Structure 1
């Protein structure tokens, strides 16, 4: 009986040892497999944008998607839907907020309806030069805006410099704020609309793709946009006059649904963040170059271009004060803080 008990104990001991060896072997195999792989979990991310594909922001976004896919060995695949194929600018933000799409690029102007402080880029003449915008987006202003967006359920991955907004119209050269009186101008957001009203014109809301036909049919007299978009959307065919007054420094935001972002592995987040930072710097460097190039091309195509002299800008800024006041009213304390930051940089 004692002999049987002894043999049973020996057998149990052998089974325990074998089991432990098997587990160690399995764990070692898993670790070896992990170390031998690229470490990225497979995921497909849908990214939508509404800009023309040859716009410098679009080119940057396409390169961002390509970089992420290549550097992850195809594991992190970004599936791009360009030029409004999946979503227009009016539907984009809601789709990102609800997770209808994981990523999207849309203007800060349209995001201001969700986070009013994001309208800082639309405050007339807040950013007098490209360098001011770059400095502002490298520090505290960026941090405060990102935090406000995350509280609404959106992770900001990149600020893409679109360039300055200008005015095109078919009626007369706009050489002073008084020249706007009586005109119907396509606006791009609430704060620009307040400025248009302060100048004596009527703002009209239209999608970017509707402007050409509206100008052609004369249902509007003019429109505000960047010269990059004016050239790509052929404004020169339907509008005679172009006024360069650099009233608003337009930003486009590469945004991610935060619930989706929070579920991503850290390594994937790091890859996306680094690729976005590189792309942002490339786009920023192109913004000024593209503004200058496209304004010259519009002039070459027959548009009559008036550049507001720097000495006249204080008059334009003073007339636009009601828009600044509306921004402060809507954005509250955060809006005041952001304006203070920008003014210190200026």
Structure 2
């Protein structure tokens, strides 16, 4: 009887141990699976932009959002609101600064009202070619601009090359700065407006969606923008002349509310940063090709195109000096530093 009791006791102990081992193994397996399935902490990020969806920057941004979502296994979801569906370009920056939206794309021109040094891209003829722009944005200039933006509460995730700004108008071909005299030109920002005034014309502020009608009704004589936007917004139907002078290298910035960014896990930050870097390079490669393609297509659609000879550009740059002086006045020492960096690369 004692042996039987002892045997039962031993068997019971073995069963308890095996059960415990099984539970431990099961728990370990569950933790392992949990770690695998939730490699990225779940988060939803709203991303807004205003450009047409078929613009090369928009295509890049959409692919950025898709790639992040896929690589995170769907845990880092980026909800994209394109073409001004959520915010206008005038509302965008304030929304990012206050956390009304986590992420957004807007022009460096509009960010210059928050960080005056960001107007560097609008300084006439500061970036004479695509290669120099790319080089400048891979070094000290980028670091200084990013720091200035972070001090205002914004993390810059990407610089998206829009391409060069040009001039379209209905009055005459603009072959020299003197040809601007007396014209009313839709501007895209403060520094370009100073250049337009220096050339003898009057800058007019209009939203991008208002330009077509204004040209059609002749309430303005012309407008400045990139040829990509001119083609997408059908300038060829309401403007006769196109002048290619590459006066401003337009940048769009993918910005993140810094408080939101600081709360993200390091792994998520790395995913966003790496994907943004790859997307930025792809967009930069498209900018030159898109500028060339759209200018040619506008010409094919009937616009008379005049390309300012490189030998004439010093005259255009000299006449635009008041705009450069205004930039330095507003951006202060940092603005001077940035211009020196660009000129050194030149």
What TM-score do you get using the length of structure 1 for normalisation?
Answer: 0.92
- Aligned 1:47-86 pairs, distance under 5 A: 47-86=47-86
Counterparts of 1:335 and 1:30, CA distance in 2: 56
What's the CA shift for 1:82? Answer: 0.5
Distance 1:128 1:36 in 2: 49
For 2:181, the equivalent position in structure 1 comes to 181
Instruction: For residue 36 of structure 1, report the CA deviation from its aligned partner.
Output: 2.6
Distance 2:25 2:338 in 1: 58
- What's the counterpart of residue 144 of structure 2? 144
* 2:190 corresponds to 1:190: yes
Q: Provide, for residues 243-280 of structure 1, a one-character-per-residue CA deviation record: whole Å limited to 9, x for no partner.
A: 00000000000000111111111111111111100000
Q: CA deviation at 1:183?
A: 0.6
- Deviation per CA, 1:13-55, whole angstroms, max 9, x where unpaired? xxxxxxxx9xx98985675244332411111111110001100
Structure 1: tracts of 5 or more residues without a match: 1-20
Quote the Cα distance in structure 2 between the aligned partners of 1:30 and 1:105: 40
CA deviation vs aligned residue, 1:220-250 (integer Å, no higher than 9, x gap): 1100000000000000001000000000000
Alpha-carbon distance in 2 for matches of 1:151, 1:190? 22
In the aligned structure 1, how far is the partner of 2:26 from the partner of 2:148? Answer: 46
Which segment is superposed worse, 244-253 or 39-48?
A: 39-48
Which position in structure 1 is the counterpart of 2:94?
Answer: 94
Q: SS of 2:243's equivalent?
A: strand
- The aligned residue for residue 16 of structure 1 is none
Deviation at 1:102, TM superposition (A): 0.7
For 2:29 and 2:146, the matched residues in 1 are separated by 42
Q: Which residue of 2 aligns with 1:317?
A: 317
Q: Deviations over 1:187-228 (max 9, x none)?
A: 000000000000000101111111111111111110000000
Q: Distance in 2 between matches of 1:36 and 1:106?
A: 36
CA–CA separation in structure 1 for the residues paired with 2:25 and 2:95? 47
Measure the CA separation in 2 of the matches of 1:271 and 1:207: 34
Distance, in Å, in 1 between the alignment partners of 2:167 and 2:71 is 41
Distance of 1:191 and 1:290 partners within structure 2? 24
The TM-score normalised by the length of structure 2 is 0.92
Cα distance, 1:140–1:35 mapped onto 2, change above 3 Å: same
- Structure 1 distance, partners of 2:340, 2:173, is 34
Count of paired positions? 327
Residue equivalent to 1:172: 172
Match of 2:127 in 1: 127
